[in-house]
Chain A
Amino acid sequence: MIFNLLQIIFLLEVVIFLTAVFMHLIHKSSLLISLYRLQSLIISIFIFGSAIEASSILLMCVAVFMFVVKVIVAPYFFTKLIKNNQLKFASSTYLNNPLTLLVVAALTSLAYSQYFQPLTILAKGNVNSLLLAVATILISIFLIINRKGILSQMIGILSLENAIVSFAFLSGLEAAPNMQLGIIFDILVWIIIASVFAKMIYDKFGTMNSTIMNNLKEE
């Protein structure tokens, strides 16, 4: 039974990892949001599982709150942003797809290299899942750097947060439930503020491509 559970967790972690990889490759904004929604759904399932295991009502509240914020509210804000500003396609990347994949492969190798080996002592029989979570962290950071679009940068940050939460779940380093509620609330405020800024940027610059913003270079 335990063996099966670890396998399921690994499979879900692989899906999280793949969503982060595909976020680099797809250009349709709605697909990008769907990938984030899927990623967040899995994270909510992880926390839900933790709540059942620990028989904690507070942790159950965390799972529900996380589901509401990340699977419902955040995608709603992003979809509204797309509709209002007619952003059918997210902006392009700095590197082309083959080069992007090469960097993703290098980052995944880095996660499995000796530099992150000390972290394997945190794994409870799921070393591969844990290192995959580390790889997702690195790939999400790369997503923020590589994408030119404001929406992609926002989703990159939220994907990074998801990757860290999955790492915490896999390593048993989760914060206490009341702290987690605080963190999710923080994320909710972040999503609202970032969406307002995205709207402001579109209104001022007429695009959501961050490369257009170069007013500071003249200073």
Chain B
Amino acid sequence: MALIIITGTLLIAVILSLLVKERDKIFGLIALSASIVELLATLFVFGQVAKHGIYTFNSYLSVDYLGLIVMLIVAVVGLAASWYSISYLKIEMTHGFVGFRRVKQFFVLLHLFILAMFFAITTTNPILMWIAIEATTLSTAFLVSFYGKPSAIEAAWKYLIINSVGLLIGFFGTLLFFYPAIDKLYNGFLTWGWMVANVSGFDPFVAKLAFIFVLVGYGTKVGLVPMHTWLPDAHSKAPVPISSLLSGVLLNVAFLAVLRFKMVTDLAVDHAFSQKLLIFFGLISILVPAFIIFTQKNYKRLLAYSSIEHMGVIALGFGFGGAGILAAVLHMLYHALTKSILFLSSGNIFLKYGSTKIKNVAGVLKTLPSTGVLFFIGFLAITGMPPFGIFLTEFSIMAAGTKSHPWVVIVAVLALALIFVGFLRHVVAMLYGETEKEVIPREMDKNNLAPIILLVVILVVLSFYLPTGLKSIITLASLAY
């Protein structure tokens, strides 16, 4: 029932947003109400999964342990992003950057985007999951080109084309996973459970080829190097609430697709095959952004490259296996929260300075003291500083690979150190120093701070204390993969 409530709420939110005329305040009210309902329904599902294991609504929709973790991420970050959007767009409207029509378009597409992500997580069918992930691309393409500038349109086109090619490659891989079901398809509806149960009929060579296509295909959406080229452009051009959802949430949804296929592949061949591939893509996804982060000139692109790096860390965790998987699942959660904190704070910085270039931003701690502190907390957390959760997960992932892949761990740790230095360099330049142009030292709106503070509180609490229910669900999620 909870899954229907989520779907229904989002559909109603889309319809209501389409019906709104003139009064832009109603969009925010609809978005906030819908997000609260989604979060409550997700918490209900959490209770059901904690009690009974997999929560099945019908043969089309169900939630497993890892699906629940990603669903929680969608609900929490979705609430923060929707909440933040209200005041963010209000300020943008006041400045004349966007008009009523654009705001309407924003909220309609935001609801569709969140709906597609929920559906991708909860569907039991790989093809429906593919359709839902493709729908996330289609619903967000216009959000990437939201400001209508030539660079935004270019980024959106790049996003649409590269992701479409990637997802078609992923679709080809998905079809190959249907191999055990040849000639049986017209009789029924193929589910993840069916694929796992019938894995004995899967030819190992076809399974290997299928997983390569799936990894390259969905890996494009995850932003793994070298399929990442669209990500920094799209994430930096979209309005910040969307950037926070793209970086913090959507990448995890796409990763979930890879992991579901990994589970089937591991049963058809052996764990080593998928692990080697994940380690390869994971390592280069840490290494390449490390150098780019160091020389980055745009703080939104800096955060986007950091997302690629963290997807690499998660891939390494699943690649190393064992305790690395548990840490990788936790890393998904911590990264989503931290990246959203950083993107939303960067939104306040953008509203104040009117530029995303690092050289144009200085003295944030003076001009935006609260945002500056929140941004600094986000920086410490994202670069893996103790006591934040990412320190623990990165340490655990590297520890898991020390024995089996010592050279990979050494290279990854060196890259992470370079990322810290690069980040520090940019953050110090932004937070301290004197501004060249005159900026009035005052926070824009308290509603631009509240959602970020909420995320910081959740991040800090979860860094020190994981509730027993959540801990056991994360453990069970990691055991399945």
A residues at B contact (CB < 8 Å)? 54, 56, 59, 116, 118-119, 121-122, 137, 141, 144, 150, 153, 157, 160-161, 164, 167-168, 171-177, 179, 182-183, 186, 189-190, 193-194, 197, 200-201, 204-205, 210, 213-216, 219
CB pairs A–B below 8 angstroms (26 shown): A54-B186, A56-B186, A118-B208, A122-B206, A144-B165, A153-B161, A157-B161, A160-B165, A160-B168, A164-B168, A176-B127, A176-B185, A177-B186, A179-B131, A183-B130, A189-B135, A190-B138, A190-B164, A197-B141, A197-B145, A197-B153, A197-B156, A197-B160, A200-B145, A201-B157, A215-B150
B461 within 8 A of A: no
Q: How far is the CB of A14 from chain B (nearest CB, A)?
A: 20
With A122-B206, A167-B172, A186-B131 known to touch, is A173 a contact of B233 (CB < 8 Å)? Answer: no
Chain B residues touching A, range: 35 or more
Residue contact A157 to B164, C-beta cutoff 8 Å: yes
B29 within 8 A of A: no
* Minimum-distance CB pairs A-B, first 7: A118-B205, A215-B151, A179-B127, A213-B154, A173-B175, A172-B182, A173-B178
With A176-B185, A205-B150 known to touch, is A182 a contact of B128 (CB < 8 Å)? Answer: yes
Residue contact A173 to B301, C-beta cutoff 8 Å: no
Residue contact A201 to B175, C-beta cutoff 8 Å: no
Which positions 151-181 of chain B face chain A at CB distance < 8 Å? Answer: 151, 153-158, 160-161, 164-165, 168-169, 171-172, 175-176, 178-179
Q: How far is the CB of A73 from chain B (nearest CB, A)?
A: 16
B209 within 8 A of A: yes
Minimal Cβ-Cβ distance residue in B for A145: B165
B475 within 8 A of A: no
Interface of A is mostly: helix
Given A150-B157, A210-B157, 10 further pairs, Cβ under 8 A: A118-B209, A122-B206, A137-B172, A144-B161, A157-B168, A160-B168, A161-B168, A190-B134, A193-B160, A216-B151
Q: How far is the CB of A54 from chain B (nearest CB, A)?
A: 6
Minimal Cβ-Cβ distance residue in A for B152: A215
B183 within 8 A of A: yes
Q: How far is the CB of B255 from chain A (nearest CB, A)?
A: 21
Which of A160, A179, A182, A219 is the one whose CB lies under 8 Å from B301? A219
Chain B residues with Cβ under 8 A from A144's Cβ?
Answer: 161, 165
Minimal Cβ-Cβ distance residue in B for A116: B209
Give Cα distance in the complex from A118 to B209, angstroms: 8
Which of A137, A182, A193 is the one whose CB lies under 8 Å from B131? A182
Chain B residues with Cβ under 8 A from A173's Cβ?
Answer: 175-176, 178-179, 182, 185
Give Cα distance in the complex from A137 to B209, angstroms: 15
Q: How far is the CB of A52 from chain B (nearest CB, A)?
A: 13
B203 within 8 A of A: yes
Residue contact B298 to A186, C-beta cutoff 8 Å: no
Chain A residues with Cβ under 8 A from B96's Cβ?
Answer: none
Give Cα distance in the complex from A174 to B176, angstroms: 10
Which of A179, A183, A194, A219 is the one whose CB lies under 8 Å from B236? A219
Minimal Cβ-Cβ distance residue in A for B186: A54
Which of B130, B138, B178, B209 is the one whose CB lies under 8 Å from A193? B138
Give Cα distance in the complex from A175 to B171, angstroms: 11
Chain B residues with Cβ under 8 A from A116's Cβ?
Answer: 209
